[in-house]
Amino acid sequence: MAHKYDHLREKAIALRTEKQMSLDDIIERLALPRTTVYEWIKDIPIPFTQKQSEAQHRKAELVRTKYALLRDEAFRQGLNEAPELLKDLSFRDFVVLYMAEGSKRDRNRVEFVNSDSSMVKLANRWISYFTQANKIDYRIQCHIDHDEDELKNYWAAIVNAIPDNIKIIRKSNSNQLSGRQFRSQYGLLSISVNDTVLRSRLQAWIDFLKAQW
């Protein structure tokens, strides 16, 4: 026996599949309750039309262009400020240290990993000073026989952070090295921040310094 809403259900499905209409558009067209229409079309995605695909592509291009311009501007800023900043020997040490030990894979991220507390303290000082991001992530890479609380308290004192805000990452082979003769006593601390501007400025400082050698 046909239900009185069967023809409306078929209409809603047709509007979804053939016209690529949204839930709100179908509700407005058929003047039906949202929950009713949703149940009919919830498993039917809107296929991308060529126009929609082109719009998505343009949006992605705009985002890429935005970040490219942001990086270019930050790089120019870095070159302009490098001569004055590099007069500070501590800052110069940081740039050289990052040049040797810092991550350079991601153009939008600054990351430094080390087991030496002096190096970590220096890197953290300058990254914290220059970053425009709200949050720096701290992670400890360690083995299974490390004491987590001891590590967190140790590194928290070095970088002036709250111990519970430091994450622990166990190395994948951490249960296979019980007989090793050497290890980093306090593991490795990773300092990382998503900051496109700082990463580009940092690259400029590195390039400027290398050009002086």
pLDDT band at residue 178, thresholds of 50, 70 and 90? low
Contact 197, 169 (CB under 8 A): no
Contact 191, 159 (CB under 8 A): yes
The mean per-residue pLDDT over the stretch 6-20 comes to 85
pLDDT band at residue 1, thresholds of 50, 70 and 90? very low
Alpha carbon of 21 to those of 12, 49, 187: distances in Å? Answer: 9, 11, 55
Contact 143, 206 (CB under 8 A): no
Q: What is the pTM for the complete model shown?
A: 0.70
Give residue 194's Cα distance to chain centre: 5
Contact 78, 197 (CB under 8 A): no
